Structure 1
Amino acid sequence: MMFSLTGSGFVEVFPAEVTTSLDLPVMPGLTAGFPSPAADFIDLTIDLNKELIKNPSSTFLARIDGDSMKDVNICHGDIVVIDKSLDATEGRIIVAFLNGAFTVKRIRFEKKGCWLVAENPKYPAIWVTDESDFQVWGIVVHVIKSF
């Protein structure tokens, strides 16, 4: 699927592939503070499908194009995991369809509408009312980054 993003080019959205297990070795208790002796982790594995995808039939992956969410570490080129089965509650990061285009923003509710808030001060918040062509397409539940 190809979707146009607000103020950007296009982004490809892929359904999550969960028919096979993705077991990778994992090191438990890796410290980000002072170094500690290595633990024996040779026989421990983690299945990234089980860790990242709770609702397989409603989960999609998309690559981010743009920098409007950079202050929450969702950056250009990152892959987001989107779950369409979750509700858009206050403060969640959503994928929204607004007036013919898709965008990723944080949602803030008020009595007469809601705000779609960028996490980058160079982008203004977007006021959404009943008159807007608006739909919450899904909820961002994970970000996959490359360095």
Structure 2
Amino acid sequence: MILHKSNALTFFTPKTTNSLGTPFFDTGISAGFPSPAEDFKEQRLSLDKELIKNKEATFFARVSGQSMIGAGLDDNDLLVIDRSLEPSNNKIAVCFLDGEFTVKRLKVDKDDVWLQPENPNYPIIKITSDNDFIIWGIVTSVIKKV
């Protein structure tokens, strides 16, 4: 269910399930040469339990744009955002700035706040008292399609 769509992000609420999860083989997958066959021990993995720590305060948003590619956030990636986490220096945050949502890295120094993109083609934004500014939530995970 789409909650809000802006130029930079599209927000969704997580839909949790009561299922036991998807089969998960905790043996490690080699990215080099294949390892000899091991006994596979199947477990169940719930992405809800892995990615969502506070269900009531967690939202998903889809990235639109290239300003955070240096942090590994690409166009169309799905962000997991926790609104209950305390914002702090160097965290990646979803912010509401002058009527638009944006995702940037927080830079905090005493009483000053900057929103730093992770792409040199985008400017650093200094937050002033003239801005309508709210730190909406902290990005905890990114989900990518391959």
Pairwise same-fold verdict (TM > 0.5): yes
1:96–1:103 CA contact under 8 A, matched in 2: yes
Superposition RMSD in Å:
1.7
Match in the other structure for 1:144: 143
After superposing the two structures, state which structure 1 stretch, 37-46 or 111-120, moved more: 37-46
Deviation at 1:34, TM superposition (A): 4.0
| Whole-Å separation in 2 of the counterparts to 1:77 and 1:53 | 20
After superposing the two structures, state which structure 1 stretch, 116-125 or 27-36, moved more: 27-36
1:23 maps to which of 6, 21, 24: 21
Deviation at 1:38, TM superposition (A): 3.9
Structure 1 residues 94, 144: CA separation in 2 closer, same or farther (over 3 Å shift)? Answer: same
Q: How does 1:1-147 map to 2 (within 5 A)?
A: 1-5=3-7, 8=8, 11-21=9-19, 23-28=21-26, 29-41=28-40, 43-147=42-146
Deviation at 1:15, TM superposition (A): 1.1
| Whole-Å separation in 2 of the counterparts to 1:83 and 1:61 | 9
Moved over 6 A (4+): none
Deviation at 1:146, TM superposition (A): 0.5
1:25–1:42 CA contact under 8 A, matched in 2: no
Deviation at 1:22, TM superposition (A): 5.8
- Identify unmatched segments of 5+ residues in structure 2: none
Count the aligned residue pairs. 143
| Whole-Å separation in 2 of the counterparts to 1:104 and 1:145 | 16
After superposing the two structures, state which structure 1 stretch, 35-44 or 68-77, moved more: 35-44
Deviation at 1:40, TM superposition (A): 3.2
2:24–2:45 CA contact under 8 A, matched in 1: yes
After superposing the two structures, state which structure 1 stretch, 16-25 or 85-94, moved more: 16-25
1:68-93 CA-partner distances (Å, limit 9, x unpaired) = 11111110011010111101111000
| Whole-Å separation in 2 of the counterparts to 1:105 and 1:143 | 14
| Whole-Å separation in 1 of the counterparts to 2:92 and 2:101 | 13
- Identify unmatched segments of 5+ residues in structure 1: none
| Whole-Å separation in 2 of the counterparts to 1:32 and 1:117 | 33
Normalising by structure 1, we get a TM-score of 0.88
1:17-48 CA-partner distances (Å, limit 9, x unpaired) = 12423611222222334432343335212111
Normalising by structure 2, we get a TM-score of 0.89
